[in-house]
Chain A
Amino acid sequence: MNENEIKHVIFKILKRIAPESDPSTLAPDENIRKTLDIDSFDALNFFIGLDEEMGVTVPESDYGKLNTLSEIIPYLSSRIG
């Protein structure tokens, strides 16, 4: 899975959680939770989505490190089997 494909999956999950939003307009360093107005339930659903779509289980302790696309994409690509 290359970076673009990962980004595509992330957008798909975000779109499911926040249908009114347009995740493709997110800048790499933008805080996703704040920009898309995502609460803790949405965030959990996002991580569940990553688990289901890519098989990456994010431990709770890493939640705080994953705020922007530029943080999430390398994190995922290093963990996809």
Chain B
Amino acid sequence: MAEFRMPSLGSDMLEGTLVEWLVKPGDRVKRRDAVAVVETDKAAIEIEVYEEGIIETILAQPGQKIAVGAIMAVIRTEAGKKAETPEKATLKDASQLLAEGASVPAEDKEKKLPSIPEVEARRIKVSPYARRLAAERSVDLSTIAGTGPDGAIGATDVERTTATVITQPAEKAPPTPIEETPREASQKEAPPAAPAAERHAAKDYQTAMRRAIAAAMARSKREIPHYYLQMRLDMSSTLRWLESENLKRPIKNRILPVVPLIKGVSLALRDVPELNGYWIDDRHQISEAINLGFVIALRQGGLIAPAILNADEKCLDELMDAMRDLIVRTRSGGLRSSEMTDATVTVTNLGDLGVETVYGVIYPPQVALIGFGKTMEQPWAENGMLGVRPILMATLAADHRATDGHRGAQFLDALNRHLQEPSNL
């Protein structure tokens, strides 16, 4: 048996609202299948499963707010046929989980030790009193979403569960009392819980996203000693090459200038991997995969930076497709959990509106952010000659705990080198 838990879709996420299940009990799932849609402060996200098996029990109901780490469903895996009750599993402590990680098959291990380990290995926190109450009332703690600090289960959570169990047939309202919505209207419509929750989510969406951005950015400026480096890049060869490439293509397959920039960044990160990864628990964790978060602004305000997974391995056409797809899905909903959590570095491009230089704020726990301004024709002296060239200001904001200016300089130098050889991108 394996538990499917609410994943953390960002270092600042505490809980998510289940919008819908994409699977039902009895369905067979495999790794990376999207199984549910969850509304976070940022967006509606399709969350993925990392186990192979059959959905045994579904514990969370649409409309419910679920703490990060709380169990949402139980999956019957091929390996774990010996019936182990979910509660027993819940009570395991982190060290036990890790010890098990050493003996499970390779595929399982990947789930146990994901890229941000602090998130998935989190054990359920239960206050001593809540644990005693749950025992007295025979409540299965693994079925409860905690609302205390860090998603801890407190006595009120246990009490609420026992209360809703008793009253459930009468009213299927979401467990957390939200503000009053027109009752009659929502009751006429078929499913009563979800629309109310959705409407609420839509209404507070902007505020919630603003709060999420506020939390992440304030934490960044509070904790991360940023250093900034900037370099003027001569874009002549890249743009000349791109223009000739695009001439050969139908309009649908044209590549935007930001795409070679993204590829250049990915390749430069291969050369200087220290800027690709995280700073967690006073430790620099370099990521092998280059998952490049690309900042997408929403017209109504706010932003999302979903990840282009393994950007360095994609050719320009694949990158263009990936970015187009991400932008559509970011703006219409339907991002997947791995795209929300797996970014190892972030790129932001503000050149469209004429900004010259970007001084970025790093998205924790990442350690670097690369900013691009507008490409503008500027005087450029070279070999004693003055010419006019398309010039782009590239900036690097990096975490000084993880790297020093020298590494940052090497990165910008590598970026420049790759962009001067566009045909190799």
Contact = CB atoms under 8 A, between A and B. Distances in A.
The answer to whether A and B touch in the complex, with CB atoms under 8 Å apart, is yes
Interface SS of A by simple majority: helix
A69 to B, nearest CB: 20
Interface string B216-253: 00000000000000000000000000010011001110
Nearest to A60: B246
B352 A48 contact: no
Residue among B247, B327, B352 having the largest count of chain A Cβ atoms under 10 Å: B352
Interface in B255-306: 256-258, 297, 299-300
Interface stretch (A4-12, A36-44, A70-78): A36-44
A61 B251 CA distance: 12
B299 A37 contact: yes
Contacts of A47: 251
Given A18-B299, A21-B299, A40-B258, A58 B352 contact: no
B323 A41 contact: yes
Interface residues of A, number: 19
Contact of A48 (B243, B246, B251, B300): B251
A71 to B, nearest CB: 18
Contacts of B247: 59-60
A20 interface: yes
Contacts of A18: 299
A64 to B, nearest CB: 12
Contacts of A39: 297, 352
A61 B297 CA distance: 26
Given A51-B251, A60-B243, A41 B324 contact: yes
A24 interface: no
Interface in A10-65: 18, 20-21, 33-34, 37, 39-41, 44-45, 47-48, 51, 57-61
Interface of B: 243, 246-247, 250-252, 254, 256-258, 297, 299-300, 323-324, 327, 352-353
Interface of A: 18, 20-21, 33-34, 37, 39-41, 44-45, 47-48, 51, 57-61
Given A39-B352, A51-B251, 12 more contacts: A34-B353, A39-B297, A40-B256, A40-B257, A41-B323, A41-B324, A44-B254, A44-B256, A47-B251, A57-B250, A60-B247, A60-B254
